Amino acid sequence: MKYYHGHDNLYQKLLARGQAGWDKGDYESFQMLPLIKQFLSESHLKPSQSCALDLGCGTGSLACFLAAQGFTVTGIDISTTAIQSAKEQARKRNLNIDFRAADLCYEHLPEKTFDLITDNHFLHCIVFPDERKAVLKNIRQALKPHGEFWMETMVNYPQMIPAKEWNLDEEGISWYPIPPDQKTEECIERDGQLWLPTRRIQPSDQIIINELHQAGFHIFWQETTPPKDEKDTGAFRAKCRPNQ
Ligand SMILES: C[S@@+](CC[C@H](N)C(=O)[O-])C[C@H]1O[C@@H](n2cnc3c(N)ncnc32)[C@H](O)[C@@H]1O
């Protein structure tokens, strides 16, 4: 069991209390929607001739939006609960989407297949450098040569004061304390206490930029925005293409 398998439990809880997806808001107005609309209006991509992949698609709100625009869409998530719900959401909307449960740290994506790959708050759930490297390499290989990767991810904006319960370490990984009988390979021990990642990393934007460059991406648009309040996180947004 990897730390990110914990997402499935969270989906079971949030669906049971009537939430349609990760965001507390309306299914149709997910977090990255304004940015996606802006990017689409600026893009050379022709939806009816383009294949899109949404990473960590959750219950599928972005995937459904892209399919409704005419894209041929695949959505991948580690949570079988989220994927089951995404399939129901697509069926309700009469959308044909290939939703699959898989681990993006290990799943080998088909090469040069997608015109567009989107990350709506998935990558910051992958906390260890080797895993992030594997995911970015996978994305890079799965994009067509002129394909684009659009992302929105958390960063530890310099002025941010992290909430106490996040237990951020110097790399931006947040940890939670666990009892000794739940020890796993991913645990660290500090001050006599075992800790496991809370499925969240907030590195600096420069670290993310370096990761993207190392994975072979050219970033042709980017912005970093500060947190709205002390409980919020900063965000890094980017549009990338594979280096030729
Ligand atoms: C913060 S949620 C965002 C979900 C969705 N993009 C949205 O905005 O509604 C992160 C998502 O990444 C998925 N995830 C985490 N680790 C994963 C992995 N290794 N492979 C595939 N999906 C993963 C989680 O199950 C979760 O749905």
For the domain that residue 224 is a member of, what is the CATH number?
A: 3.40.50.150
Does ligand 1 have an atom closer than 6 angstroms to the CB of 79?
yes
Does ligand 1 have an atom closer than 6 angstroms to the CB of 121?
yes
Q: Calculate how far, in angstroms, residue 29's C-alpha sits from the geometric centre of ligand 1.
A: 17
Q: Is residue 175 part of a domain?
A: no
Q: Is residue 94 part of a domain?
A: yes
Q: Calculate how far, in angstroms, residue 119's C-alpha sits from the geometric centre of ligand 1.
A: 9
Q: Is residue 93 part of a domain?
A: yes
User: Which phi and psi angles does 12 have, rounded to 5°?
Assistant: -60, -40
Per-residue pLDDT tens over the stretch 186-240:
888 887 888 887 788 888 899 999 999 999 999 999 999 987 776 677 899 999 9
Q: What is the pLDDT of residue 156?
A: 77
Q: Is residue 180 part of a domain?
A: no
| pLDDT band of 185, cuts 50, 70, 90 | confident
User: Which is more confident, 166 or 100?
Assistant: 100
Q: Which domain holds residue 60?
A: 3-157+202-242
Does ligand 1 have an atom closer than 6 angstroms to the CB of 150?
no
Q: Is residue 168 part of a domain?
A: no
145-149, 168-172, 182-186, 207-211: least confidently modelled range: 168-172
Angle 116-122-123 from CA coordinates, rounded to 5°: 90
Angle 168-76-59 from CA coordinates, rounded to 5°: 80
Per-residue pLDDT tens over the stretch 96-128:
999 999 999 999 999 999 999 999 999 999 999
Does ligand 1 have an atom closer than 6 angstroms to the CB of 203?
no
User: Which is more confident, 170 or 99?
Assistant: 99
Does ligand 1 have an atom closer than 6 angstroms to the CB of 63?
no
Q: Calculate how far, in angstroms, residue 229's C-alpha sits from the geometric centre of ligand 1.
A: 24
d(CA 19, CA 14): 5
Q: Is residue 86 part of a domain?
A: yes
List the one residue out of 54, 57, 59 whose CA is nearest residue 15: 59
List the one residue out of 35, 90, 41, 43 whose CA is nearest residue 68: 90
Q: Is residue 177 part of a domain?
A: no
Query: pTM (2 decimals)?
Result: 0.92
Structural domains of the chain, count? 1
